[in-house]
Structure 1
Amino acid sequence: MMNITEGRLADELTYEGITMVTADFRYPIVSSGNSKADKRINSYYRHIAKTLMKKARNELLPDAVDEWKYSVENSYPFRPFEAVMKYTVTMNDGDILSLYYDNYEYTGGAHGVTKRFGDTWRASTGWFIELGDFFSRGVNYKRLLIENAIKTAARQIAEGTHQYFENYPKLIKKYYSPTKFYIEPDNVVIFYDQYAIAPGFEGTPVFEYQTEIIP
């Protein structure tokens, strides 16, 4: 198990004294006593936060200034752009550290967009563990996960708890990715991008698959 604290990189980007972009990136900082593994993991997330801040300053800020100027000229209300990163640790046990982080951007209009990423690490080495490592050798885990997702979505539709696009079985197959997963104590969880298989208000669709196979 790793000790986890929170790192943060935040700023309010302004133009003529007015906030154009609020940027707030929170990321995990791990400590296990294994300096090499800790360094790999911490450098990875620190680099992501720095890259997001660079994007906020070099891309979002100029776009927000243009939007602000247009709103002033046309007497429209202006809402500052946003860039946010938040993470959730889903498993931190033994040699496995798994988490996901959401990058949210609002760049005008009615809604922002959230993009999720999942990472699963071997704590002792600081290297990634792949999805296939959580299944017995020779198992067609892609088929199992896709079939489980389709059955789960069908049940959720019947129960009225979630909505999916009409051709969701085809979309679940099309947009499946072996990199979009994280681990919970008893589950492998796969997820899909917002708008990929369901309306935007559904957020990030997730599907749990029970497994006791631990690498």
Structure 2
Amino acid sequence: MARDSLAELHTEPFAAEREWTVEDIPVLTASVAVPRPVPAADRVSRRIHRYYQLQCRSYLRYCERWLLPQAEAAYREALAASAPLPCLRAELRYQVTYNQGGLWSLYTQSRETPVSGPSLLTRRGDTWDLNGGYPVELSAFFPPRSNWKKLLLTLAAEDILRQERAGVSQYREDWRRTLRRQFNAQNYYLTAEGLAFFFPMYAIAPAAEGIPTFTLPYGTNLLHLPEEVPGEMITPNQSR
């Protein structure tokens, strides 16, 4: 095992906030919390630290370049109509979902709260091999040449049918057609119960359902236990 390999990763939140104004009136606020390894004394921890610092900066740039013009337009529209002045809100948070056996998994999720309508949620999953310090491909959790994509899509379809029969969730009428098209192998993370994979908000369900998430339990249907993952990783120039 490499000298810098870790069994677990200890982190604390790194927080940042920004506020943008138009004519000295706040029109957009953004808050960010991303993981920061402590201590960042080895190369793997430092690499992960740089990765999420970049994500933090990228998200704030996104807010300034894309959300600020929308916020300014909403402000001027309200000003012209003598309506209450709006202030849009954006936030980025994270949740560590697995941290043992040399694997560290989490998701980051942003929320944009517009002037009207539901909040927009965007989720990203990351699973890191703490030995090499790179993200692990979803395919690494399944035997070579296994049809893991079909397995996951079948599981999602069965869960959707159960939820609709029980009346606990509602999906789009065309979810069967869009399920495969909207599947993204990068949209996954590990939990204590199994491998969780998800679909973007609005992709297969209305806004009320948020981000549809499904879980394949460990030890079933060819899924490797986390400790059995053979260490298949993407190289730096393939990183997401």
Coarse TM-score class (shorter-chain normalised): over 0.9
1:163 to 170, 174, 183: 170
SS at match of 1:198: coil
Unaligned ranges ≥5, structure 2: 1-7, 230-240
Residue of structure 2 in register with 1:67 after alignment: 74
Q: Shift of the alpha carbon at 1:74?
A: 1.1
Identity among equivalent pairs (%): 27
Deviations 1:151-177 (A, max 9, x none): 001001111111101122222122111
Preserved contact between residue 74 and residue 86 of structure 2 (Cα < 8 Å): no
- Cα distance in 2, alignment partners of residues 21 and 85 from structure 1: 14
Deviations 1:55-112 (A, max 9, x none): 2233322331222111111122332111110111110012100001111123433222
Residue of structure 1 in register with 2:234 after alignment: none
The one-letter code of the counterpart of 1:42 is: H
1:109 aligns with 2:116: yes
The one-letter code of the counterpart of 1:91 is: Y
1:175 aligns with 2:182: yes
1:148 aligns with 2:172: no
1:24 aligns with 2:31: yes
SS at match of 1:143: helix
Residue of structure 2 in register with 1:39 after alignment: 46
Residue of structure 2 in register with 1:51 after alignment: 58
- Cα distance in 1, alignment partners of residues 81 and 21 from structure 2: 21
- Cα distance in 2, alignment partners of residues 191 and 209 from structure 1: 11
The one-letter code of the counterpart of 1:60 is: L
TM-score (norm 2): 0.84
Q: Shift of the alpha carbon at 1:49?
A: 0.8
- Cα distance in 2, alignment partners of residues 33 and 81 from structure 1: 35
Preserved contact between residue 118 and residue 207 of structure 2 (Cα < 8 Å): no
Residue of structure 2 in register with 1:206 after alignment: 213
Q: Is the deviation greater in 61-70 or in 201-210?
A: 61-70
The one-letter code of the counterpart of 2:173 is: E
Q: Which has the higher strand share?
A: 1
- Cα distance in 1, alignment partners of residues 66 and 19 from structure 2: 14
- Cα distance in 1, alignment partners of residues 185 and 18 from structure 2: 34
**What is the root-mean-square deviation of aligned Cα atoms in Å?**
1.6
2:90 to 83, 91, 94: 83
The one-letter code of the counterpart of 1:188 is: L
Residue of structure 1 in register with 2:133 after alignment: 126
